[in-house]
Structure 1
Amino acid sequence: MSAQARGRRPHVLQVSGMAAGGVRAHLAQCARLLAADGCDVLVAAPAAVLEGLDTGRAHREVLGIGSRPSARVAGALVRLRRLARGAEVLHAHGLRAGALAAVAVGGRRVGRPRLVVTVHNLTVGGRLARLVGGGLEGLVAARADLVLAVSPDLAGRAQGRGAAAVELAVVPAPWAPRGGAETMAASGDVPEPASGSMSDAASDAVPSAVWAPGLRRVLTVARLAPQKGLDVLLDAAAVLGRRAAEGRLPTLEWVVVGDGPARAEAQQRIDAESLPVRLLGRREGAAALMAQAEVVVQTSLWEGQPLTLQEALRAGAAVVATDVGGTALTVRGGAVLVPPCSQEVAEAVGALLTSPDRLRQARERAHGAAASLPTDDDLLVQLHRALGV
């Protein structure tokens, strides 16, 4: 039953820090669905996140939560406390926004807004970054009424830190007009401004010039950042290239759609080693490329519920993915899962490219898994239950 049907307009405050890709897409989805269902929704996030974000009927306000600690956090805290007045529920996205929200509303008590935090990422980096991340996890666990985790390992971490309640988050990939992909940036990206997503619109038309004639087609859609396992990808491509040169595999081209801080270094290695990899950068029409590829590969070192894999399943592509984070949860048996190891990735891709039967079966599994992917309706049901609206 919608909020309007219940005769009231609950006030929901959606809060985010710097976000890109899947995190940003999920923030927009939650805001749109709740606002369309009759809730009074306010989205508070950095200006770069709000720019061009489709939040439907939801209101918006700039809130300067940075991606790193700074002197501005005190001002953001004061502003968040003001915005939270009168809200029945505060739904924060990400550890940094969740921790700030926890400080803003205080501990669990009667009369304060219900606090729900969706944890989208595993903290990675050096010892200091992990210590800070652990502290934020502890604060969220201590004060949130509910933690929604995008992967089983994140759920386990929240439970281990004593969270009052933990659920796996429902994260459907957005549908875009004409069956294209609304965003090609997977969940789990290092938060960046909105311009970091892979594509902002979809296109059914993909120029034939994208693919070199006569070569087998392998595709990866990912932000070019360390978390996406670019070294694993390039090492696997080197193995496949050597086997093709020896006549043990057909010659292939591994196209990578996406951009990011590691692009220049990756291109240097591709050129130096003559790897069969081509970096296309950001582009529209990635979903159509998935439908044209023979194998779609994800080499990430960690993922939440990657939107790109959902989109690959919908495209009916054969999928090889590293079994990390929430990947197995996401693909629902529709992908070949391997450890984040270049040799394992190369073996799986090579096996598909040399066996028409295996390739056909992998595509059939993808089609079957796509039918059970979560939908906006599933997300709305969880939001009603989780937020209590």
Structure 2
Amino acid sequence: MSHVSSHSPHGQLPLRTVQVLGGGNAGSSAHVRSLASGLVARGVRVTVCAPVEAEHTYDFTGAGADHAHVPRSSDPGTVTLLRAACAEADLVHAHGLHASFRAALALSGRRTPLVVTLHDRAHAEGARAHLLRLLERRVVKAATVVLGVTSDLVDHARRSGARDARLAALTLPPARRTAEPEDPERPGLKLRAELGATGRPLLLAVGSLDRHRGYDTLLDATRAWRRLDPVPLVVIAGEGPLRGVLQRRIENEGLPVRLLGRRDDAAELLAAADLALLPSSWESRSVLAQEALHARVPLVASRVGGIPELVGDGAELVPYADAEALATAVTALLDDPGRREELKAKGARQAATWPTEDETVAQVLSIYDELTQPRPLA
């Protein structure tokens, strides 16, 4: 099915959709921006319900959508706001577990179709983990269609009671750089100097400082790299609850690691890096993995979740929580320029197999068509 022109054939009103975003991680927010742009170009009316901070960062109105400020919370006031925003919608599409829960509450008692895209698995321990499982079951049962960005997310949705769960065609829009590299031959020289990585390898990890990111394993692995000459510098871009714990370990053990906090120049950091590291316990369609392969930066990642399906043979995969395997893989890559070049080429080939933005929009629009009846003019 081709959707290249207006989605408003003679005698029909335009399809009215509402996209619901929670706090929105980088992947889901960028996806909604791309989706809004593609849908508007095809004659669909789009309202994005998201916190005002997300609008400032991703400029949904710049893509031609309307923006409705809806905070992250699930309190009755927020649900009322969302219910009002969805009043005229032909279809509501929510992204992520918490946004989908709010959308399900807002649509309670209405026959409006609800599409849910699960971009990631929620992480929690103890009593909160039980609560999350209940939330997942409530969301997938309320959804008309559940889209999972990886096969295991689709399987998980089916096990949780989804009536209709499908694999989403999902692409990551090209990273927006904050500045052009000053030297096309050696991008990031200035940035490397600022980070203290002149004349030594620069290894980059990106992501919130949470337990599931595997940074404890990464710090364990850096001990082995202290024996290398020159000693590689590991930089971690992200913020989170483990910052204090990680910083104390770095200082107490003299580890060659810098915590950079939140950064808005992840694309530049990646272009400057020699290797990208992803030591997580679970990932779906990791933004870092996609950007590393696109940018031809060799990636070393845990063999978990959706990573093997995403990267194919375009990255070096190691078992999760195995510091020795991670240390060995990185050391071997730093010692072998030929293997690094091979990974860059394989990674670029793998990235070329991922869906395009057009294919992503076309899949979503075909699902919208399937779930909505013709809308005759009054």
TM-score scaled by structure 2?
Answer: 0.86
Change beyond 3 A, Cα 1:329–1:89 = same
- What residue is the counterpart of 1:384 in the other structure? 365
Instruction: State the 1:154 CA deviation.
Output: 1.8
- What residue is the counterpart of 1:353 in the other structure? 334
- What residue is the counterpart of 1:82 in the other structure? 84
- What residue is the counterpart of 1:204 in the other structure? 181
Instruction: State the 1:13 CA deviation.
Output: 0.8
Cα distance in 2 for residues equivalent to 1:203 and 1:260: 29
Cα distance in 2 for residues equivalent to 1:214 and 1:11: 55
Matches within 5 A, 1:100-249: 100-106=102-108, 112-176=111-175, 180=177, 201=178, 203-205=180-182, 206=188, 207=190, 208-209=192-193, 210-241=195-226, 243-244=227-228
| SS of alignment partner, residue 373 of structure 1 | coil
Indicate if the aligned counterparts of 1:229 and 1:300 stay in contact, CA closer than 8 A.
Answer: yes
Structure 1 counterpart of 2:286, from 287, 293, 306 = 306
Structure 2 counterpart of 1:34, from 33, 39, 43 = 39
> Per-residue displacement from partner, 1:139-192 (whole Å, max 9, x unpaired)?
122221110112222211111122111122233222245xx3xxxxxxxxxxxx
| SS of alignment partner, residue 330 of structure 2 | helix
Change beyond 3 A, Cα 1:216–1:79 = closer
Structure 1 counterpart of 2:244, from 251, 255, 264 = 264
Structure 1 stretches of at least 4 aligned residues deviating more than 4 Å after TM superposition: none
Indicate if the aligned counterparts of 2:294 and 2:351 stay in contact, CA closer than 8 A.
Answer: yes
Change beyond 3 A, Cα 1:214–1:65 = closer
- What residue is the counterpart of 1:192 in the other structure? none
Instruction: State the 1:251 CA deviation.
Output: 2.8
Give the letter aligned to residue 245 of structure 2.
Answer: E
Indicate if the aligned counterparts of 1:47 and 1:62 stay in contact, CA closer than 8 A.
Answer: yes
Instruction: State the 1:57 CA deviation.
Output: 0.8
Instruction: State the 1:26 CA deviation.
Output: 2.0
Q: Kindly tell me the number of residue pairs found equivalent between the two proteins.
A: 354
Instruction: State the 1:84 CA deviation.
Output: 2.1
Indicate if the aligned counterparts of 1:202 and 1:284 stay in contact, CA closer than 8 A.
Answer: no
Give the letter aligned to residue 225 of structure 2.
Answer: L
TM-score scaled by structure 1?
Answer: 0.83
Indicate if the aligned counterparts of 1:20 and 1:49 stay in contact, CA closer than 8 A.
Answer: no
Cα distance in 2 for residues equivalent to 1:65 and 1:319: 33
- What residue is the counterpart of 2:20 in the other structure? 15
- What residue is the counterpart of 1:43 in the other structure? 48
Change beyond 3 A, Cα 1:224–1:63 = same
Cα distance in 2 for residues equivalent to 1:2 and 1:329: 30
Change beyond 3 A, Cα 1:46–1:303 = same
| SS of alignment partner, residue 51 of structure 1 | helix
Instruction: State the 1:277 CA deviation.
Output: 1.5
Instruction: State the 1:215 CA deviation.
Output: 1.9
Indicate if the aligned counterparts of 2:68 and 2:85 stay in contact, CA closer than 8 A.
Answer: no
Cα distance in 2 for residues equivalent to 1:357 and 1:226: 34
Change beyond 3 A, Cα 1:312–1:113 = same
Indicate if the aligned counterparts of 1:202 and 1:286 stay in contact, CA closer than 8 A.
Answer: no
Instruction: State the 1:334 CA deviation.
Output: 0.9
Cα distance in 1 for residues equivalent to 2:124 and 2:337: 41
Query: Which consecutive residues of structure 2, in runs of 5 or more, have no partner in the other structure?
Result: 183-187, 373-378
Give the letter aligned to residue 181 of structure 2.
Answer: D
* Alignment of 1:326 onto 2:306: yes
Cα distance in 1 for residues equivalent to 2:272 and 2:85: 47
Give the letter aligned to residue 58 of structure 1.
Answer: A
Indicate if the aligned counterparts of 2:8 and 2:43 stay in contact, CA closer than 8 A.
Answer: no
Give the letter aligned to residue 34 of structure 1.
Answer: L
Cα distance in 1 for residues equivalent to 2:240 and 2:302: 20
Instruction: State the 1:250 CA deviation.
Output: 5.5
Instruction: State the 1:127 CA deviation.
Output: 2.3
> Per-residue displacement from partner, 1:104-153 (whole Å, max 9, x unpaired)?
3247xxx8221100112322222222211111211122221110112222
Cα distance in 1 for residues equivalent to 2:166 and 2:5: 22
Instruction: State the 1:51 CA deviation.
Output: 3.1
Give the letter aligned to residue 222 of structure 1.
Answer: G
Indicate if the aligned counterparts of 1:288 and 1:315 stay in contact, CA closer than 8 A.
Answer: no
Indicate if the aligned counterparts of 1:290 and 1:317 stay in contact, CA closer than 8 A.
Answer: yes
| SS of alignment partner, residue 146 of structure 2 | strand
| SS of alignment partner, residue 46 of structure 2 | strand
Change beyond 3 A, Cα 1:138–1:202 = farther
Change beyond 3 A, Cα 1:202–1:127 = farther
Identity of aligned residues (%): 35
Tell me the C-alpha RMSD between the 2 structures: 2.3
Structure 1 counterpart of 2:255, from 266, 275, 280 = 275
Cα distance in 2 for residues equivalent to 1:325 and 1:298: 12
My pick for the range that moved more, 96-105 or 158-167, is 96-105
